Chains A and B, each alone.
Chain A
Amino acid sequence: MKPAPFVRHVPATVGGATDMLAEFGPQDGRILAGGQSLVPIMAFRMARPAHLIDINGVAELARVSRIDNTLSIGATVRHAAFHRPVADAEMGRMLSTVVRHIAHYPIRTRGTFCGSIAHADPASEWCLVASTLGAEMVARSKRGQRVIAAEDFFEGIMSTALAEDELLTEVRLPILPSQAHFGFYEFNRRAGDFAIAMALVTYRVTDGVIAEPRVGLGGAEARPRRIPEAEAALKGRPLEAKTFQAAAEAAAQAIDPIEDIQADAEYRRELVRAVTRRALERSVP
């Protein structure tokens, strides 16, 4: 199948892009970034945008930079940019570990970090990273700029707080503290498929016990989020099997699982238990 007719617009600057969005957004206009989600759904005619605003030529959006304790990722930075660490220590390692679970190599050379965030697939790895770390999304429109916190940004399956005239110009990821540990585990049927369930955990160890735990789950619910019940089961506890088991159990109980042909609710709960525990096991230094 091929897309329904559309007009492509090519801005050279962020200002140009937001002007176009202001004009075409209300007329069924959309941003085209890497096209790795949008183009397939257009090919099935499940999306029929009348206008595409192609931001691939906007040079100022292609940057990854570190500002204090945040990593700023511009709107056209590709997944493949994270194959090698873009930051020191655990932060760089975490991103380069996670990126390898996104689709396949050719898709990673085109698809963008911010495109994943804007697309908001519940099983997107980057959405999980953004939720777990507490990212901030920078949205720009002709009306101005606003910064949206991850927990407010993801609203449901492929739905976000972005308005139709807003461009997501960058995502700001808090950098993991230097002594942080992380663990990631994803379950899918084939290498490169979207996750049926995945977990990302981070924490520090102080005085032999877990401090500042974060447990994020993706692919399991309508949107990725942190699971406070699982974090509570970790906080102040020693790094041991019993602790991990308890956190995994708490996560499995806490979720409101989505159902699809790959997994019913009961199976997803089981997977959440498994991926949470395994992410924790992998986090152990």
Chain B
Amino acid sequence: MSVPTQGSGMTWVGRSIRRLEDPALVAGQGHFTADLQAAHWVRFVRSPVASGRIDRIGVPPNANVITAADLAGVKPIKPMLHKFSYVPVAQPVLAADVVRFVGEVVAAVVAASKEEAEDIADRVEIEIVPLTAVTDARRALAAGAPVVHPEAPGNVIVEGRIKTPDFDATRASAHTLIQFEAHSRRQNATPLEARAGHTAYDGATGRVTLTCTTQMPHLTRTAIADVLGMPESDLRVIAPDVGGGFGQKMSLTPEYVILVWLARRLRSSVAWTEDRRENLMAGFHSRDQVITLEGAFDKDARLTALSADIIANVGAYSCFPTTCGVEPLMAMAELPGPYQAQAYDCVSRGVVTHTCPMGPYRGVSRPVITFALERLMDKAAARFGIEPIEIRRRNLIDRFPYKSATGLTFDEASYRQTLEMAVEHIDLPAFRARQKQARAEGRYLGIGFSTFSERTGYGSPAFAARGMEITPGWENVEITMDPSGLVEARIGSSPHGQGLRTTLAQIIADEIGVEPRQIRVVHGDTDRAPYGWGTFASRSLVIAGGASLIAAQKLRTKLLKIASHLLEASAADIVLEGGMAKVSGTDRSLPIATMARQAYYQTHRFNGEIDPGLTEIGAYDPAGTFSNACHVAIVQVDIETGHVAIEKFLVAEDAGRIINPMIADGQVHGGIAQGIGNALLEEIVYSDTGDILTSTLADYLPPTAREVPVIELHHMETYSDASITKAKGVGEGGAIGAPAAVINAINDALAPFNIEIDEIPATPRKIRATLRSAMEKRA
């Protein structure tokens, strides 16, 4: 099951080499969109009202202000799904007659500088007749609720249902039923770099170059070309260095469409840099869900049947390309998680409201469903009087491939082993003793476990199952060795901080015997890189990595052929390593760079047996593979203030073969930091009338270094045939598992009070309110 390595056996894969990206970034030599200069700057005028009819837009004299009336011929953004009772809804790039959320773009002010544009925007008067807004999904479902889109009178625009044939019978024979509601409040991915776009017009060709901070340059090109009715090749999209995305930068934003439209109209350059307030109001939100969950257990605490009613608040519009089905459908398909329940009954709805549109955010629904399911497991453990680890032992899947109730195939993984690994390192008996002692002193410590699967690297069949009009999945990688022996790998993935240039270079280096720093990975430019789907869903290392491996293997084959000619030896006896082609068992060798020159300049020597040049293409479209982990949090809850301090966070993680341990650890750390924010701090709040009350970082609270503890990481590597590099994705697991572990720990700490906290974030105010009502009840 191991990957072939050659020669000395020393491989680049598996080593924590320093990131090739970093020297430029730490020396301030990176290229970010907002660094670009432009002749024109845009300031968007946004709706101050959640729902209303636009009556008049008053434009100051001599100002260049674009409104919907100017955009004749521009189509709305209208993503499509062909399944799940999907109701397509249109998002005009500038609000036309009505506004549907606070922050929706109503007009674009164009001026010679950012400052001037902002001053003019200040004087644009938008008069809106307010209508009743609905911000809460449950209220939007109620009879008589305001209708957000006339096409969807009940406000439901996507609905999935699954019921396995054995569900009713299995549930009926259950020993114990546990039902509860899990709430997840709305969150924002808050990348360090908010959105930014810059367009330049080329008078010679009429082409426009859009530089923007996106995770998917090719899809951005496709979408904008469609909306504006232009050929794709007239648009070049560049994603330069991108300061984090976490999913927020994978959906099309109307602002970029307007920038391209303006560049074509003005035949000039135009730029926009979003500020944090715009980002918090209008830069896509996530995780606003209510899940009513019921678990049916047999007498041995085995989960036999699971039912769920999932309501996802998807905001005012449906995002492109995933559509707003991304949250409710992901939740439905993956809710059973790593547990063996085979009977399943689920209804999952995406509900439109007068709030900022939902977009994918690291983990997409899985932080929420994992939290719900892990709460169920802990509640059941308490009911059966067994330890949380024991109930997990009894229910985790352990035979592979495993076919889930929703039809997913789980490849080989280590659910139980990572649980045991975590348990071993945490020393549960010692903790329980300490907990008991602390309680006697009035201090409330708790431990929380979360065991989960992280579906990663899924190709086109998985997306096709969702009925997506645009079905992503595969990746192409083109590798060229130039005549001086330097390697360029052009990829369709589009990393935004993950270190993919380094990890792909490590994979390629092992195949063709050169050092990673001689390999330049080119991405994020539709003119330079092959069509590809960008970076999301923990896919890039698996899929672009697999395609890189395939292309590199082809290049190796070709290099060996050349070497065999030049060294007059059988290709089977030649190894490529340390920049040389060597004939084993002899002292005959040749620099790879010399062979590269020959491949271009001396092709006549190959007697027509070898094609000229050194370019190979690899394509990869896997079915997908599951990473897995066990997270453990130890917390202390201050029962007087409701404050939660995380004392320890421990992870046992299995993401298959680890290409670069340092980078993998970084992914897990970052995900957990966000997960801790989701569990304790971050919450977007709307007033009943649809005002957003958390539009600054003084009110919306991501964790800082002080709130994130040192994270203890342990790795296990299961090599599964589902990935040709044996690497599984690791981008989302941290964020998926952390909220559940933290909330379970809080509940464990508060067990003496007989209360349950089934909500993220568990803010101190809510914890206090729950404790207070428990005390009042007792009194």
Contacts and interface: CB of A to CB of B under 8 A. Distances in A.
Interface of A: 1-2, 4-5, 44-45, 187, 189-194, 261-264, 266-267, 270-271, 273-274
A263 B275 contact: no
Contacts of B707: 190-191
Nearest to B694: A261
Contact of B764 (A5, A189, A261, A266): A189
Given A194-B698, A264-B765, 6 more contacts: A4-B122, A189-B763, A263-B765, A266-B772, A270-B768, A274-B641
Contact of A2 (B118, B640, B694): B118
Nearest to B640: A274
Interface of B: 114-115, 118-119, 122, 275, 277, 640-643, 681, 685, 693-694, 696, 698-699, 701, 703-704, 706-707, 763-765, 768-769, 772
A273 B643 CA distance: 15
Contacts of A44: 277, 696
A194 B119 CA distance: 31
Contacts of B696: 44
A263 B114 CA distance: 37
Contacts of B704: 190-192
Given A4-B122, A262-B765, A190 B277 contact: no
Contacts of B706: 190-192
Given A44-B277, A261-B694, A261-B699, A187 B122 contact: no
Contacts of B768: 267, 270
Contact of B701 (A187, A189, A263, A264): A189
A267 B767 CA distance: 10
A45 B694 contact: no
Given A191-B707, A267-B768, A274-B640, A4 B119 contact: yes
Contacts of B685: 261
B283 to A, nearest CB: 14
Nearest to B705: A191
12 contacts: A1-B118, A1-B277, A187-B643, A189-B763, A191-B707, A193-B701, A261-B685, A261-B694, A267-B642, A267-B765, A270-B641, A270-B768
A2 B116 CA distance: 10
Contacts of B693: 261
A191 B701 CA distance: 11
B476 to A, nearest CB: 42
Contact of B119 (A5, A193, A266): A5
Considering the complex of A and B, which 7 residue pairs feature the smallest CB-CB distances, nearest first?
A: A191-B706, A274-B640, A267-B765, A1-B275, A274-B641, A187-B641, A267-B768
A271 B122 contact: no
A162 to B, nearest CB: 24
Contacts of A273: 640
Contacts of B769: 266-267
A252 to B, nearest CB: 11
B444 to A, nearest CB: 14
Nearest to B699: A261
A190 B681 CA distance: 9
A49 to B, nearest CB: 15
Contacts of A271: 641
Contacts of B643: 187, 189
Nearest to B276: A1
Contacts of A4: 119, 122
Nearest to B703: A190
Contacts of B681: 189-190
Contacts of B699: 261
A190 B122 CA distance: 34
Nearest to B706: A191
B768 to A, nearest CB: 5
Nearest to B769: A267
A166 to B, nearest CB: 28
Interface centre among A189, A193, A194 (most CB of B within 10 A): A189
B486 to A, nearest CB: 42
A190 B701 contact: yes
Contacts of A261: 685, 693-694, 699
Contacts of A5: 115, 119
B770 to A, nearest CB: 12
A209 to B, nearest CB: 27
A264 B765 CA distance: 8
Contacts of A194: 698
A274 B28 CA distance: 46
A192 B772 CA distance: 27
Nearest to A1: B275
B676 to A, nearest CB: 11
A21 B122 CA distance: 27
Nearest to A193: B701
A2 B772 CA distance: 43
Contacts of A267: 642, 764-765, 768-769
Contacts of B701: 189-190, 193
B120 to A, nearest CB: 12
Contacts of B772: 266, 270
A44 B640 CA distance: 36
A275 B114 CA distance: 46
Nearest to A271: B641
Nearest to B118: A2
Contacts of B115: 2, 5
A39 B701 CA distance: 20
Nearest to A48: B122
Given A2-B115, A267-B769, A45 B122 contact: yes
Contacts of A193: 701
Contacts of B764: 189, 267
A199 to B, nearest CB: 13
Nearest to A270: B768
A68 B706 CA distance: 40
Contacts of A263: 765
Contacts of A264: 765
B766 to A, nearest CB: 9
A141 B43 CA distance: 40
Nearest to B117: A2
Contacts of B763: 189, 262
A26 to B, nearest CB: 23
A106 to B, nearest CB: 13
